[in-house]
Amino acid sequence: MATTEVHPASEPARWAYLDRIRTRPGPFTNPDSFDGKVVAEAMENMKILVIGAGGLGCELLKNLALSGFKDIHVIDMDTIDISNLNRQFLFRQTDVGSFKAEVAARFVERRVKGVKITPHNCKIQDFDEDFYMQFQLVVCGLDSIEARRWINAMLVNMVDEEVEDSYKPLIDGGTEGFKGQARVILPTVTSCIECQLDMHAPRAAVPLCTLASIPRQPEHCIEWAHVIAWDQEKPFPDLDKDDPEHITWLYQKSLHRAREFNIPGVTYSLTQGVVKNIIPAIAATNSVIAAACCNEALKIASNCAPFLGYPDNNYMMYSGNDSIYTYTFRHERKDDCPVCGTLARPLPDIDQAWTLRDLVDSFAARPEAQLKKPSVRAEGKTLYMQSPPSLEAQTRPNLDKTLVELGLVDGQEIGVTDPAFATVVFKYRLKFKS
């Protein structure tokens, strides 16, 4: 096994090509904003956050460190599994079971002199606004839509128009098999991940009745065992997709059903793949997408060339399914986007002695709202809903309570909807009179 202790060429030589880009104006540099004298130093002082230290994350960390970023943080809650080793090249067999962020950070620090990588072995949700505020740039290599939506909402909600540093560009990479995408989001300026939610094709599902009555493929038999037979027989209380015993049960069931319908091809690993929705990760796709993301980071940080995002194209898709194809386009912002379409507006001069009824009635008088039938909720607290009738009856008593009695605090965000404005959701931030 090769050791990781290698001796790169002398340090200045390592950065020679990069510095050519960073110090000299070129055909693509913006004459108004490019200043070759300060770029390298500015980049060294920049704090950049990488989310995910998996397939994309390993590539991103390596690329960013080699692109001259010196202060990198990385978040990943996962530990290393043996199946990661074929493509997550910062990990070795002896690292199995250790935290990905930790191992990746140490590896890159060893190989690239002068870079500081701070690992966080936890969930992105464990940090608050203050944590994310310290970075100038966020790069994501995530595998879940949920996590993307979370960080997107966080960065959009952090925007404070009065504070220049509150705008954090988000670079998001994603891959699935031979396909991938790289996009840049400038919160509240260009379309956000929530605006682009329809770009993620939902998992192709097979009609339930096909599974139940006319399976044609081995996958149908496995899905049948997974969604129907399991619930009927409940061999274990809860399905644990990582428990070999559970997968074996599903495999046996699927095999039996496949024989019944004369369908070949059900195997243990296919069962595992279908149940866990595994799409084989392709190392080459990861490196293409991570390279594109890192390129955007370098361009944004140095102004050495126009970057993805403003004012035109903000979304690059890549497909390696049939030869190589990329297409870059502009995804428009959605005015009714629930995250960036409606930034919470301040709702000033609220008297905390008001009853909820006073607050609800006040929306009719607000010029931008003029809501006749507003329904109002705060996170985790339904204040008053005009519909459906049962919920209206349950929340009606709240109308006579004061805002304080309802647990509302200064700065709290509320969501307001009204059937007259079917496409709009209003978000307000309560500001109490002192």
Partner 1 sequence: MLKIWSMKKEQQKDENSAEGNGAAAPKKKKVTAAQLRAQKDLSELSLGTTMSTEFPDPDNILSFVLYVEPDEGMYKGGRFSFTFNITPSFPHEPPKVQCREKIYHPNIDLEGKVCLNILREDWKPVLDLNAVIVGLQFLFLEPNASDPLNKEAAEDLRNNREGFKRNVKIAMGGGSVRGESYKRVLI
- The residues annotated with a catalytic role in the active site are 209
Cβ at position 378, least distance to partner 1 in Å? 7
> Which pairs from 246-253 meet CB under 8 Å and 24+ separation?
247/271, 247/272, 247/275, 250/222, 250/225, 250/226, 250/275, 251/222, 251/225, 253/224, 253/225, 253/229
Among residues 162, 242, 245, 349, the one that binds partner 1 under rule CB under 8 A: 162
> To the nearest whole angstrom, how small is the minimum distance from the Cβ of residue 386 to partner 1?
6
Please answer whether residues 176 and 277 qualify as being in contact, where contact means their C-beta atoms are separated by less than 8 angstroms.
Answer: no
Round to whole Å and give the CA distance between 421 and 425. Answer: 8
Q: Which residues pair with 384 in a beta bridge?
A: 376
| Site pattern 354..393 for partner 1 (x: CB under 8 A) | --------------x----x-x-xxxxxx--xxxxxxx--
Q: Which of residues 78-137 bind partner 1 (CB under 8 A)?
A: 129, 136
Closer CB to partner 1, 7 or 37, in the complex = 37
Residue among 280, 336, 334, 327 at smallest CA distance from 308 = 327
Residues in binding contact with partner 1, number by CB under 8 A: 85
Assign 371 to helix, strand or coil: coil
Strand order in the sheet with 116-120: 116-120, 71-75, 47-51, 137-141, 170-176, 179-185, 315-319, 325-329
40 interacts with partner 1 by CB under 8 A: no
Least Å distance between CB 16 and partner 1?
23
- Sole window of 101-109, 163-171, 260-268, 353-361 interacting with partner 1 (rule: CB under 8 A): 163-171
194 forms part of the interface with partner 1 (CB under 8 A): yes
Binds partner 1 (CB under 8 A): choice among 153, 270, 317, 399: 153
Q: Does 245 bind partner 1 (CB under 8 A)?
A: no
167 binds partner 1, rule: CB under 8 A: yes
Query: What CA–CA distances, in Å, run from 220 to 209, 258, 267, 277?
Result: 11, 9, 13, 13
Q: Give min distance, CB of 423 to partner 1, in A.
A: 9
Q: What string marks each residue from 306 to 325 as x (binds partner 1 by CB under 8 A) or -?
A: -x--x---------------
* φ, ψ for residue 175, nearest 5 deg: -135, 150
From the CB of 292, what's the least distance to partner 1, in Å?
A: 17
